[in-house]
A = this chain, B = another copy of it.
Amino acid sequence: MAVQKPSIPKGTRDFSPVEMARRNYLFDTIKSVFRRYGFQPLETPSMENLSTLLGKYGEEGDKLLFKVLNSGNFLKGIDAEEVQAAAESDNPVVLGNRICEKGLRYDLTVPFARYVVQHQNELVFPFKRYQIQPVWRADRPQKGRYREFYQCDVDVVGSKSLLNEVELIQIVQEVFAALKIRVTLKINNRKILYGISETIGHADKMMDITVAIDKLDKIGLDAVNEELAGRGLSPEAVAALRPILELSGSNREKLAAITAIIGEKSATGLKGIQEVTTILDYAEALGVVLPVELDLSLARGLNYYTGAIFEVKAMDFPMGSICGGGRYDDLTGIFGLPDTSGVGISFGADRIYDVLLGLDLFPAETAQSVRALFVNFGGAEELGALRLLSEVRRAGIAAEIYPEAAKMKKQFDYAQKRDILYMVFVGENELAARTATVKNIVTGEQRSIPFEAVADSLR
């Protein structure tokens, strides 16, 4: 066979041992917080039926699904004309969906909804789960955007209590405190956005209005007003919106101002205000120190979020949202389980990784997975070293021996390149005296230590 130059598909990555150690640190930190809050792990298959995935992510999402070709004769039962038509078309989607009945997981939310509905009779509600798995999207790869990447989701379904929202805020606080990343959490509520639209007489234009509010920072008030007029808002509506666009001050001040504006004009809007108020009250009473800011321009996921909307940004590093989520009242309806409200948040593992790297926040130990290298002198010394090594490992210490009696320089280089802190020497004299020489590679310090104390000296 010809020799192949090895490569991997664009937009995918290998994770080297060093990267894996960092990723494990990140995931372990997140998981340990999730667990303390009573969330339990779940995993779903990488492949879902294409019918489970199609139509759940909008037209654009459908295009980004990776489809898995049916095994065996994938053209069976498909007539030549159909194939011909597809070959002549520019975008043979229909044929694609005929020859593929499975697709790769696009996110963790839809598989989770599918799981909840499929297992509704075995599950105990409220069901609190976390899920950390890769997802795949046929997006154009670019810096920081991959075709295979991990999502890290935590959700509760089957409870409308706002305590769940509060718990998610606490989880955000604890995860980033543990990672030593300073963050701000922005909160909004879809009901308030709807209430504003209803108040100014354009309940049908919530999306347009929200998009315009979102642009305020970038393009200024006048341009926003112009855009709103362009989207069909009456001059009165644009004028009525003005005080909302200009809201400022503390969360409480903003809430008071919107309450005054909405008044009795939108019951939904007042419900949203009440929800945010309750969440903030709880957070305050529980001593949440994470900066939580009500931001009416926060408009992620308006297609599915029905209540709270969250977004988290790092304070000390330029990076988009590193965490986001919200409440969805009808996640499971499409699979036949209505009225099952849920709320969840997703941690952007790749972005958080980049922030940790950028701010140099990975603990140095994550690189040092092996504590000691036992030097291999061959012969009886080798056997002595191997026996001592077994003791050290039994004591729970990660250690290894160079597998051959190679030159000292080679063994030393190996230890150094592997970030191994200690070298342990069991030479002829040492073996006779049942002591080992333990050398700290970084400081150069070396000590003679009785065999039975070597394990402790390496901790």
Cβ of A282 under 8 Å from chain B: yes
Contacts of A9 in B (CB 8 A): 45, 47-49, 101-102
Is A7 in contact with B49, judged by CB distance below 8 angstroms? yes
Q: Write the nearest CB–CB distance from A63 to chain B, whole angstroms.
A: 8
* C-alpha gap A79/B310 in the complex (Å): 50
Cβ of A117 under 8 Å from chain B: yes
Copies of this chain, how many? 2
- Identify A71's interface contact among B66, B69, B83, B334, CB under 8 A: B66
Q: Say yes or no: A42-B69 contact (C-beta < 8 A), given A75-B86, A126-B403, A287-B390.
A: no
Cβ of A304 under 8 Å from chain B: no
Per the 8 Å Cβ criterion, residues 69-95 of A in contact with B are: 69, 71-75, 78-80, 83-84, 86-88, 90-92, 95
Cβ of A41 under 8 Å from chain B: yes
Per the 8 Å Cβ criterion, residues 249-306 of A in contact with B are: 282, 285-287
Show 25 residue pairs from A and B whose CB-CB distance is below 8 angstroms, ordered by the A residue: A6-B114, A6-B118, A6-B335, A8-B44, A8-B48, A12-B45, A12-B46, A14-B115, A15-B42, A17-B40, A24-B41, A35-B398, A38-B398, A38-B399, A40-B369, A40-B370, A46-B148, A68-B68, A69-B69, A71-B138, A161-B403, A285-B383, A286-B383, A286-B387, A287-B390
Contacts of A134 in B (CB 8 A): 46
Contacts of A12 in B (CB 8 A): 45-47
Is B124 in contact with A36, judged by CB distance below 8 angstroms? no
Is A104 in contact with B38, judged by CB distance below 8 angstroms? no
Cβ of A404 under 8 Å from chain B: yes
Cβ of A55 under 8 Å from chain B: yes
Cβ of A346 under 8 Å from chain B: no
Is A41 in contact with B21, judged by CB distance below 8 angstroms? yes
Q: Say yes or no: A16-B119 contact (C-beta < 8 A), given A4-B334, A90-B73, A286-B390.
A: yes
Is B96 in contact with A74, judged by CB distance below 8 angstroms? yes
Cβ of A437 under 8 Å from chain B: no
Closest partner residue, chain B, to A133 (CB atom): B134
Is A386 in contact with B71, judged by CB distance below 8 angstroms? no
Per the 8 Å Cβ criterion, residues 128-174 of A in contact with B are: 128-129, 134, 136, 138, 147-148, 156, 159, 161, 163-164, 170
Mask: chain A, 297-325; 1 = CB below 8 Å from B; 0 = not: 00000000000000000000000000000
Q: Write the nearest CB–CB distance from A129 to chain B, whole angstroms.
A: 7
- Identify A84's interface contact among B1, B71, B80, B390, CB under 8 A: B80
Mask: chain A, 6-28; 1 = CB below 8 Å from B; 0 = not: 11110011111100110010000
Per the 8 Å Cβ criterion, residues 404-435 of A in contact with B are: 404, 414, 417-418
Contacts of A66 in B (CB 8 A): 47, 68-69, 71
Q: A8, A38, A80 — which one has the most chain B CB atoms within 10 A of its CB?
A: A38
Q: How many residues of A contact B (CB 8 A)?
A: 110
* C-alpha gap A385/B375 in the complex (Å): 56
Cβ of A52 under 8 Å from chain B: yes
Cβ of A401 under 8 Å from chain B: yes
Cβ of A397 under 8 Å from chain B: yes
Contacts of A148 in B (CB 8 A): 45-47
Cβ of A327 under 8 Å from chain B: no
Contacts of A404 in B (CB 8 A): 159, 161, 163
Cβ of A190 under 8 Å from chain B: no
Cβ of A459 under 8 Å from chain B: no
Q: Write the nearest CB–CB distance from A132 to chain B, whole angstroms.
A: 11
Q: Say yes or no: A41-B69 contact (C-beta < 8 A), given A80-B84, A398-B36, A403-B126.
A: no
Cβ of A99 under 8 Å from chain B: yes
Cβ of A354 under 8 Å from chain B: no
Contacts of A286 in B (CB 8 A): 383, 386-387, 390
Cβ of A218 under 8 Å from chain B: no
Cβ of A400 under 8 Å from chain B: yes
